[in-house]
Amino acid sequence: YVCESSRKDVLAVYDASGTLRLFDTEQRKELLLLNPEEHGATSEKWCAFLGEDRFVYFNKNQKVSVYNYRENRMEAEFERDVNAMGMWTDVKGNYLVIKENSNLYTIYGGQTLEKIGEMMNSEMGYGETMLSDGRFAYIASIRGDDLKVISRVLCVWDLNTAQMLLKYEFGDAFVTEMKELDDVLYVFSAIYSDLFMTAISLVDGEKLLETVLEGQYPEEGGLYLREDSENILCITADCLYTVSRDSGKAKMVSGKGDTVLSVLESGTDDYFLFFDNGDLYLLLPERMVLYDVRDQFACVTKENSKISFTREGIWVLATKDNHITFYGTEC
How far apart CA 249 and CA 232 sit, in angstroms, is: 10
CB atoms within 10 A of CB 214: 8
- Which residues, 6 or more positions from 314, have their beta carbon under 8 angstroms from its beta carbon? 297, 307, 308, 326, 327, 329
Per-residue model confidence (pLDDT) at position 331: 44
- At position 170, the amino acid (one-letter code) is F
Per-residue model confidence (pLDDT) at position 27: 85
What are the tens digits of pLDDT across the range 209-254?
A: 999 999 999 898 999 999 989 999 999 999 999 999 999 999 999 9
What are the tens digits of pLDDT across the range 127-163?
A: 999 999 999 999 998 887 787 878 899 999 999 999 9
Q: 3-state class of 285 per DSSP?
A: helix
Q: Quick one: residue 102, left, alpha or beta (phi over 0 = left, psi -120 to 50 = alpha)? A: alpha
CB atoms within 10 A of CB 266: 13
Per-residue model confidence (pLDDT) at position 330: 63
Per-residue model confidence (pLDDT) at position 65: 95
CB 50 within 8 A of CB 110: yes
Q: In what order do the strands lie in the sheet with 73-79?
A: 47-50, 54-58, 63-68, 73-79
What are the tens digits of pLDDT across the range 42-75?
A: 888 999 999 999 999 999 888 999 999 999 999 9
Asked whether the predicted pLDDT for residue 87 surpasses 90, the reply is yes
How far apart CA 55 and CA 72 sit, in angstroms, is: 11
Per-residue model confidence (pLDDT) at position 62: 85
Of 267, 181, 274, residue with least CA distance to 224:
181
